[in-house]
């Protein structure tokens, strides 16, 4: 019985790794890339504050989007407000440099997000550069939503763990 359970687990893990949210190719993905002004501690700290504000601002706006095209339309329509959100964070934290916000194709290295691996390649991305944008950066995926999930009222259950628990 244990061999059957282990075999089923291996098959499920393999399917999960291959499936990767059902993404067919790079055209089904929109990434986000926030570049800090520099690698100074204060520039890196404000980068994460910007990330938090941008994610909080955009989450309800992209939550109902059913395609990468819909997300890009929302972001293009709301680009001025995204700039305001970012600049407000910068000003509140004493920075006088501004930001640029753009949506364009950009190269990303291979990145593993939980059970999903995105190969190194060119991807469409929301690019937010703080000041010179020459510091270390933060990136994630807007669509399908890896960074843009409202998890406040979510209770996570694992059916797989329930099944395993019955046998062990």
> 85 burial class (0-12, 13-18, 19+ CB within 10 angstroms)?
buried
User: Which tens digit of pLDDT belongs to each residue from 55-98?
Assistant: 999 999 998 899 999 999 999 999 999 999 999 999 999 999 99
Instruction: For residue 34, list its beta bridge partners.
Output: 128, 138
Average the pLDDT over 137-165 and give the result.
61
Residue-level pLDDT at 33: 93
Chain segment 103-128, per-residue pLDDT in tens: 999 998 888 866 778 889 999 999 99
Q: Which two tokens stand for residue 41?
A: 């501690």
In Å, the largest CA–CA distance within the chain is: 65
**Any idea of the CA torsion for 74, 120, 23, 51, to the nearest 10 degrees?**
-40
Rounded distance between C-alpha atoms, residue 138 and residue 154, angstroms? 25
Is a pLDDT exceeding 80 seen at residue 20? no
């Amino acid at each position: 019985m244990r061999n059957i359970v282990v075999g089923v687990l291996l098959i499920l893990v393999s399917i999960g790794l291959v499936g990767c949210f059902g993404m067919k190719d790079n055209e089904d993905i929109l990434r986000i890339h926030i570049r800090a002004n520099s690698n100074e501690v204060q520039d890196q700290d404000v980068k994460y504050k910007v990330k938090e504000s941008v994610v909080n601002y955009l989450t309800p706006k992209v939550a109902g989007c059913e395609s990468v095209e819909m997300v890009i339309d929302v972001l293009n329509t709301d680009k001025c407000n995204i700039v305001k959100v970012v600049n407000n964070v910068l000003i509140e934290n004493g920075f006088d440099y501004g930001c640029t916000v753009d949506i364009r194709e950009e190269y990303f290295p291979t990145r593993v997000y939980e059970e999903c691996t995105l190969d190194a390649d060119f991807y469409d991305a929301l690019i937010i550069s703080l000041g010179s944008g020459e510091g270390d950066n933060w990136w994630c995926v807007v669509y399908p939503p890896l960074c843009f999930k409202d998890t406040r009222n979510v209770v996570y259950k694992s059916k797989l763990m329930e099944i395993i628990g019955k046998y062990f």
